[in-house]
Structure 1
C-alpha cells in the first residue's frame, strides 16, 4: 500500500472526530446553548457513571479471554512507560518554564496521561472499516480493535484516577492553604471554607467531600532551628504515611475501573462467560443492553470535547511556552520514544506479531492529553481555565499530529 493510501486511511477517522467535535462546539455557543456549561456537567456525569463503564465492560467481556490476556500482557507495561516518560518530560518542562505551583499537577498530568480510551475507540475501528486497511477483514479487525481499544481505555483510567488525580490534588493543596491564612499554623483547611472556594464538581457530593478530607493531612512545616536535623528515612516514612492516608480509593475505583474488573471476570472465567456471552447465553440480554448503552459513549464524549474546547477560546493569560512545551512532549518526544520502545519490544519477542496490536501500542504515545484531566481540575478548583486552553490547543493540533503519526505507524507496522 502506498503512502498516499495510508494517509487517506489514517485521515478519515480523524476528520470524523473533528466534525463531531465542531458540532459540539456549535451546540455550546451562547446563542445556541443546547450544550451549555450546566448541560455539559450533567451529560458528563452520565458519561462518567453510565456510558463509559458500559462501553468498557461489554467490550472486555466479549473479547478478552484468559488465553488472549497472555498475548496482551505488554499493553499495561507500555502504558506505564508512557506515564513515566511523560512525567519525566513534564517535570523538565516545569523546571524550564517555572510553572506556578497550582499548575504543576496539571502540567504533569497533561504530559503523562494521554487520551487512551475515547480516541483509540474512534480511530482504530474506523481504520478497520476503511477500504485498503492493512489489517485484513473489516469484521475481524473491528472485533480485535474494540478489544485492544477497550483494554487501553480501562488501563488508562486506572493510571489517570490513581496517579494524575493525586498529582493535581497535591499541587492544589497549596491553594487551600493560601485561602485559609488564619489557619496557616495548623495547615488545615476546613470543609466549610473549602466548599465556598471551589466550583461545583462533576462528580457526586460524596466524592467531593472525600476530596475535602485530603487537605487535613499535610506535612508539618519544619522550624528553622531543626532544619536539616530530620533523618531522610523519617522524611520518606512521613511522606508514605501521608500518601496512604490521602489516597482516595473511591477515585481509583472509578466506574470505568469497576467495569474493567467486571469485564475481566466475565471474559476470563469460562463458567461466567457462558452465562452472559453468546447467542444461547441465559443472561445475554444483560450484555446486549449494556452494549446498547455503551454505544452512546463515543459520540457523546466527542460532543462534550467540542463544548469544553470552546471555553479555551475565551481564556487568556496562560504562559505560551507552557502550552508549546506540552504540545512538544505529546506530539514529538513521546511518539519518538514510543517507536523505540515498541520496536525494541518486538525485536526481543515481547509483543506478538499482530500489526493491529502493534499499531495500538504505538498510537498510545501520540494521543493528546486525557479529557478527564479537565474533570479533575474542576474537582479541586485548580487550573480550570488553564486546562481549557491546554486542551484547546492540543486537540486543535491533534488533527495534524494524529494524521501524521497514524500514517507513519501504519507504514511502520505494514
Structure 2
C-alpha cells in the first residue's frame, strides 16, 4: 500500500473519535446543557461501574483462550514498559519545568498511561473495515483485533489502578502534608528533662548534620514503604473494570464456562448477550464524556505551556520512537511472532493520548482537575494528526 492509502486508513478512526468528541463538547455547552457537570458525573459513574466492566468481561470471555494468552505473553510486558518509560520521562519533565508538587502525579500519570480502552476499540475495527487495510481479511482482522484490544484494555486497567494510582496518591498525600506544614511553619520544641536550651541544641544539630549510615537509610526506606503500604486501599486496585477483566479471563480460559455462556446453543447465552449489549454503550458514552470534559480545558488554568508541550513531546515523539525500537527488537529476538496486526498494536501502545482514567483519579483526589482538562484538550486535539501519522508509519513497518 502507498503512503496516501495508509494515511487515509489511519485517519478514518481518528476522525470518528473527534466527531464523537465534538458532539460531546456541543452537548456540554451552556446553551444546550445536556451534558452538564451533574449529567457528566452520572454518566461517568454508569460507564465506570456498569458499561466498562461489562465490555471488558464480554470481550475477554469471547476472544481469550489459554493458548492465545500464551502467544500474547509479551503484550503485558510491552504495556508495562510504556508505563515505566513514560513515568520516567514524566518525572524528568517535572524536574525541568519546576512544576508544583500538586501537579507532579498528574503530569507523570499523563506521560505514563495511554488510552488503551475506548480509543483502541475505535481504531482497530475501523482499520480492519477499510478496503485497503494491510491486515488482510476483514472478518479475521476484526476477530484477532478484538482479542488484542480486550487484553490491552484489561492489562491497562490493572496497571492504571495499581501503578499510576499509587504515584498520584503519593504525590497527593505529599501535597496535602506540605499544605498543612505551610500553615504551621513555626514549631517550638521544649528541652527534654528540663535541660537548658544551650545544652539541647548542640546534640540536635550534630545529629541532623551527621550523614545517615547505609543501615539507617535502609531502615528509613523500609519505614516509609510500610507507611505507604498501610495507606494503600486494595479496593481501588479491584476497580469494576479490573473485576470485569478477571471474570472475563476466567470464562475465557475455562472451556466449560465458555460453553455455558457463549454461543447460539449456550444455556446461559442471555446473560452474556446482556453484558455484551451493555458493553457496547461504553465507546460512544466515554467518547461523549471526553468531549464534554474538554469544555473545561477551554477555560483558564494554572498549568504552564511548557508542561503541555513536554507531555506532547513525551507521548507523540519520544514514546513512539522508543516503541518502534522495543517492538522491532522483540521481533528480532523471537519474543513476538510475525503477525503484522499484533506488531502494529504493540507499537500503537506507545503512541496513544493519555488515558481518560487519569481525570477520574484526579477528581478522586481533588488535585489538578482543571489542569487535567487542559492537558486532555491539547493531547486529544494533537492526536488527530500525531496518531494518524504514527499509525501510517507503523502499518508501513509491519507490512513491509
TM-score by length of 2: 0.91
For residues 358-402 of structure 1, what are the alpha-carbon distances to aligned partners after superposition, in whole Å with 9 as ceiling and x for unaligned? 111010000011111111111111111111111110011010000
Once the two structures are TM-superposed, the CA of residue 226 in structure 1 deviates from its matched residue by 3.7
2: CA distance between counterparts of 1:184 and 1:142?
60
Aligned to 1:366: 351
2: CA distance between counterparts of 1:336 and 1:375?
29
Given candidates 369, 388, 395, the residue that maps to 1:403 is: 388
Contact 1:114 1:370 in 2 (8 A): yes
Aligned to 1:291, the other structure's residue is in SS state helix
Aligned to 2:297: 312
Aligned to 1:258: 243
Listed as ranges, the gaps of 5+ residues in structure 2 are 186-203
Larger Rg: 2
Stretch deviating more after TM superposition (324-333 or 125-134)? 125-134
Given candidates 330, 349, 361, the residue that maps to 2:334 is: 349
Aligned to 1:214: none
Contact 1:177 1:184 in 2 (8 A): no
Alignment of 1:23-102 (within 5 A): 23-102=23-102
TM-score by length of 1: 0.88
2: CA distance between counterparts of 1:407 and 1:174?
42
2: CA distance between counterparts of 1:31 and 1:225?
66
Listed as ranges, the gaps of 5+ residues in structure 1 are 186-222
Once the two structures are TM-superposed, the CA of residue 315 in structure 1 deviates from its matched residue by 2.0
1: CA distance between counterparts of 2:205 and 2:256?
64
CA RMSD in angstroms, aligned pairs only? 1.7
Aligned to 2:354, the other structure's residue is in SS state coil
2: CA distance between counterparts of 1:245 and 1:161?
17
1: CA distance between counterparts of 2:154 and 2:205?
47
1: CA distance between counterparts of 2:177 and 2:234?
24
Aligned to 1:244, the other structure's residue is in SS state helix
Q: Is residue 340 from structure 1 mapped to residue 325 from structure 2 by the alignment?
A: yes
Runs of 4+ in 1 over 4 A off after TM superposition: 178-185
2: CA distance between counterparts of 1:263 and 1:172?
33
2: CA distance between counterparts of 1:177 and 1:88?
24
Aligned to 1:106: 106
Change (3 A) 1:177 1:236: closer
Aligned to 2:338, the other structure's residue is in SS state coil
2: CA distance between counterparts of 1:312 and 1:226?
49
Aligned to 1:115: 115
Change (3 A) 1:179 1:240: closer
Aligned to 1:135: 135
Aligned to 2:146, the other structure's residue is in SS state helix
Q: Is residue 381 from structure 1 mapped to residue 366 from structure 2 by the alignment?
A: yes
Stretch deviating more after TM superposition (238-247 or 74-83)? 238-247
Aligned to 2:147: 147
Total equivalences in the alignment: 378
1: CA distance between counterparts of 2:342 and 2:31?
44
Change (3 A) 1:276 1:322: same
Once the two structures are TM-superposed, the CA of residue 38 in structure 1 deviates from its matched residue by 1.1
Aligned to 2:335, the other structure's residue is in SS state coil
Once the two structures are TM-superposed, the CA of residue 183 in structure 1 deviates from its matched residue by 9.0
Alignment of 1:186-265 (within 5 A): 226-227=207-208, 228-229=211-212, 231-265=216-250
Aligned to 1:282: 267
1: CA distance between counterparts of 2:84 and 2:172?
21
Once the two structures are TM-superposed, the CA of residue 76 in structure 1 deviates from its matched residue by 0.2
1: CA distance between counterparts of 2:105 and 2:239?
20
Once the two structures are TM-superposed, the CA of residue 49 in structure 1 deviates from its matched residue by 0.6
Once the two structures are TM-superposed, the CA of residue 281 in structure 1 deviates from its matched residue by 1.2
Aligned to 1:201: none
Alignment of 1:171-182 (within 5 A): 171-178=171-178, 180=180
Aligned to 1:206: none
